[in-house]
Amino acid sequence: MKIAVSACLLGEKIRFDGGHKHEHFVTDELGKFAEFIPFCPEHLAFGTPRPSIRLLRHDDTLFVQSNKDQSDLTLRLMETSKEELSKISKEPLCGIIFKSKSPSCGMGSAKVYLENGFCEGKEDGVFAAMCRERYPLLPMEEEGRLQDTWLRENFIMQLFAYDAFEQFKVCNPAINELVRFHTVNKFILQSKDEKLYRELGNIVANRDNLTFDIVLAMYELGFKTAISRKSSIKKTRNVLEHLAGFFKNELTKDEKKIVQSHINDFADKIVPLIVPVSTIALYAQKYHITYLLDQTFLNPYPKTLALRSHIDAGK
């Protein structure tokens, strides 16, 4: 999968002061499964090193201003941001990771100043704003928020689900394959957005006999929207209970107790999500419940990322 990333997060010495902000989770962990497309609109505009810049609001308009001589650098940075956007648009992207707080790359975290020098809030940086407009459904996150294990888990799950849909789409699927795709993703969707999960089921059922192209386009919009939603402990617990319901008649009394206690311990934040998920997968295997074993919810991304092993990866 291809992911566009702020070049400084990849360790490139490209920041205004000639430094970098190497993000090891991105390069060392995610890098095993992704190819990165670097971008840096500021380096392209002003070279490295360069004077730092800031966002300035004047008469309800945002400007980019040099911190060195207060010159207006808005047009130049917009030009190079468009160039970088055009470069990454040539790639079949599955996501973008931005450097936080930057006037170019920050996602809602770039400080905006008033002429009196006061900070009046935070907005998207120039390049991040363009990306949001160009790619409303693409997984995007900034490195600052990826330090939060819950947001990181949600983002990585979204990335891999998005990639799965893109791979599915290029195979020219037919309606029965879409039904299959929806079936194996049911619980991941339910853990994100119960209402959209049900709507997607109706789209796949196609009671209005729409053409497959229309059905697929409607499904894509709903699927990509649903996976962008954040899961929660409550929603995840519902899904776990639902999954456990599939083999309630097969389990012995003691096995039922084990499953239930692991779900309860997860909901009480005593054990991480991997504990009830592994228990459910184990019994699904023991009792040959293939419908459950096929569910992407049990393995939404490579195990080595180990994001479900963190106790605070749920809220």
Q: Which residues bind ligand SF4 (CB under 6 A)?
A: 6-8, 14-15, 40-43, 99, 102, 104-105
In the bound complex, what is the minimum distance in angstroms from residue 62's beta carbon to ligand SF4?
16
Q: Are 130 and 138 in contact (CB under 8 A)?
A: no
Pick between residue 37 and residue 40 the one whose CB is nearest to ligand SF4.
40
Q: At CA 68, angle to CA 17 and CA 50, rounded to 5?
A: 30
Pick between residue 103 and residue 300 the one whose CB is nearest to ligand SF4.
103
Tokens (6 digits) for 42 = 């500021």
Nearest in space to 238 (alpha carbons), one of 299, 311, 189: 189
- From CA 185, how far away is CA 195, in angstroms rounded? 15
In the bound complex, what is the minimum distance in angstroms from residue 200's beta carbon to ligand SF4?
35
Tokens 């459910």 belong to 280
Pick between residue 53 and residue 305 the one whose CB is nearest to ligand SF4.
53
Task: Give the contacts of 26 (CB within 8 A, at least 6 positions apart).
Answer: 5, 9, 10, 36, 97, 143, 146
In the bound complex, what is the minimum distance in angstroms from residue 131's beta carbon to ligand SF4?
11
In the bound complex, what is the minimum distance in angstroms from residue 8's beta carbon to ligand SF4?
3
Pick between residue 97 and residue 200 the one whose CB is nearest to ligand SF4.
97
In the bound complex, what is the minimum distance in angstroms from residue 69's beta carbon to ligand SF4?
19
Contacts 24+ apart (CB under 8 A), 59-66: 62/112, 62/123, 64/103, 64/126
Q: Are 102 and 125 in contact (CB under 8 A)?
A: yes
Pick between residue 14 and residue 94 the one whose CB is nearest to ligand SF4.
14
